[in-house]
Structure 1
Amino acid sequence: MAMIERIETGIAPSSAPISDAVRAGKHVWLVAIAEDPVSGEIVAGGIEAQARRCIQNLEIAVKAAGGSLRNLVMVQIFLIDSADASGMNAVYREFFTEQPFPVRATVVVKELLAEGLRIEMTATAVLG
């Protein structure tokens, strides 16, 4: 059984019982919300700003593990409104421009835990 290691990214609040990135062997699992890593506040500005911040937070986390967005093999996106899909897709295309793209699932949920949060992402990366 592979040892599970927490990747310290500086994003997840240390008081919460969560990790925003863990590694087991060559696999890294990541989670990101639209939270500014400096202020800890949910970013304002609609789905585009929140999607951008989520992907930037995924990028911070995967870099802390020694990889890049190119190492992502799976991305799961949770939206609170299906109308946000087109804005999220526009931002997603800014970051993921080369084939093979990560496998992706997008799910619409009733709500997310933080007030004002419109999107959350999880991802799996495979590193060398």
Structure 2
Amino acid sequence: MFEVVKTGITSSVSPVSGMVRKGPLVLTAQIPKDPATGKIVEGDIIIQTRQMLENVKTGLAAAGGSLADVMRAEVFLVDAADAPAMNAVWREFFSEPWPCRATVVVKEFLSPGMRIEMTATAWIDEA
């Protein structure tokens, strides 16, 4: 059985966990949600990408890790034209060696106004 990582970020209205862990393996699915309000942040892809990656960073810290522990990510964008701006923000949060990443364009998300979503796999060595 896995454990849910308590990140302090409220979960979505769907019956899902934002971050789970089994041993050193940590899986996360994050959206650009403001933890203070529980709402999707308004704004362009830069604002939403920053919020989403801050959520990933906060969650990994709660699990005892950091963004440097992310090995693989999948990013979902509503608009392919947002990819260059998303990549610019990505470089603010990650550095070499870069995690493996797939970026997929989707038609829309269930949450109105959302432009990006991400899943990631991290390996956090247990102390």
- Alignment TM-score, normalising by the size of structure 1: 0.93
Indicate if the aligned counterparts of 1:12 and 1:18 stay in contact, CA closer than 8 A.
Answer: no
Please point out which of 69, 85, 88 is paired with 1:87: 85
Indicate if the aligned counterparts of 1:72 and 1:123 stay in contact, CA closer than 8 A.
Answer: yes
**RMSD across aligned C-alpha pairs, in angstroms?**
1.2
List gaps (5 residues or longer) in structure 1. Answer: none
Partner of 1:21: 19
Q: Secondary structure at the match of 2:89?
A: helix
1:11 counterpart letter in structure 2? I
Q: Does 1:57 align with 2:55?
A: yes
**Identical pairs, percent:** 50
List gaps (5 residues or longer) in structure 2. Answer: none
Indicate if the aligned counterparts of 1:4 and 1:23 stay in contact, CA closer than 8 A.
Answer: yes
Alpha-carbon separation, structure 1, partners of 2:101 and 2:10:
23
Please point out which of 95, 109, 113 is paired with 2:110: 113
Residues 26 and 118 (structure 1 numbering): CA distance in 2 closer, same or farther, change over 3 Å?
same
Alpha-carbon separation, structure 2, partners of 1:65 and 1:22:
9
Indicate if the aligned counterparts of 1:33 and 1:54 stay in contact, CA closer than 8 A.
Answer: yes
Indicate if the aligned counterparts of 2:45 and 2:86 stay in contact, CA closer than 8 A.
Answer: yes
Partner of 1:72: 70
Q: Does 1:123 align with 2:120?
A: yes
Shift of 1:31: 1.0
Shift of 1:13: 2.9
- Alignment TM-score, normalising by the size of structure 2: 0.93
